[in-house]
Every structure is written in C-alpha cells, then in structure tokens.
Amino acid sequence: MKTQLATKASSDDLTAVNGTVTVVKSDLEGTKNDLKMTRSELGTLIARNHEEIDTLRRMGERDYVEFTIAAKNKPQKVGNITVELKSVDPKKNKFSVALIVDDVRTEKKDRLTNEPIVFYTHGLKQADEFVVNSVSKDKISGYISVPKNPVQTSAAASGN
C-alpha cells in the first residue's frame, strides 16, 4: 500500500510538472514568434560602427545617413529630420535628444548607444530608425536608416 501511495504521489507530481513545462513551452514559443514578427516589422539590423553601416548599405535594402552632432541645444538637419542634442552622459553611454519629424517635436531621454529610436514619417508604413553609435562630451555620432522604396499608406497614396 505504501508503494502505491508513493507511486500515486510521484504520478501527481509528474502531472503537475508536465503541465508547468507545457505552459512554459507555449510561452517561449509565443515569445519567439513575437520576436520574429518584431524583427520583420522593423526589418533592419543595427550597425555599431562605420564598417557595419557600409555592410548594410551593400545589402541595398535601406539608405543610411551618417551624422555627428557636436553641440548641445543647436538643432541640426539630418536627412529628413531635425535633431537637437539635449544632454550626454559618456560614462553611462547615455544621451537625450529632441527629434523633429514632420514638424512634430519628440524628446527621447536617457537612451543608450546602439539602441534604435524608431519613428514613422507621415504617410509611410515603414519605419525610419535613428541610432547613436558613440557618445562623448557634448557630441554624438550615428546614423539614420530609411527604407529605399517606402510603402505609402492608402490615405497618403490617394491624396487624403
């Protein structure tokens, strides 16, 4: 009888653990699918230096505009946006900028180097990316990535 009770207890434990593993497995699969969808939605890789930007250029899917902003609070035109450096923290590789896209100002605070800031220009379905590769005293350098053949939304395509 003790053997049967021990077997029953381990069988119940096995069923509980199996249920937990199944839940974790389905959560992991969902996360993997979400990551795949996010990657395909953004559709780009992040370059960490000039050589990697050149490699992405050769792939030919997007255009890359490199920039260096060397002064705080002085807006500078980069590609189709205006960038204003607000603050830098070289020790922590952090920066804050104001991006002006389609006459809309958006501040991005305490961003890390190589962390893409994704934004959409009016009427386009594909995202542009603003990436800062290096931060030093009152200076940031990086690039903006834009699609080569942007897909327009139906409202923009019809002229509304």
pLDDT, tens digit (0-9, with 9 covering 90-100), for 132-154: 999 999 999 999 988 887 666 65
- Strand pairing of 139-147 and 128-136? antiparallel
Beta bridge partners of 128: 119
Letter for the amino acid at 24? V
pLDDT of residue 133: 92
Q: How many helices (H) and strands (E) does the chain have?
A: 3, 8
The two tokens of residue 116 are 């893409």
Beta bridge partners of 58: none
> How does pLDDT run across 28-68, given as a tens digit for each residue?
887 776 665 444 345 557 788 888 888 878 877 788 999 99
Give every CB contact of residue 95 below 8 A, 6+ residues apart in sequence.
85, 86, 87, 88, 89, 110, 111, 113, 132, 135, 140
Q: Which residue has the higher pLDDT, 157 or 113?
A: 113
| Interval 115-135 mean pLDDT | 88
How far apart are alpha carbons 103 and 99 in whole angstroms? 9
Average pLDDT score, the chain: 81
pLDDT of residue 140: 95
Distance of CA 51 to the CA centre of its chain: 20
| Interval 10-31 mean pLDDT | 78
- Closest by Cα among 51, 81, 68 to 145: 81
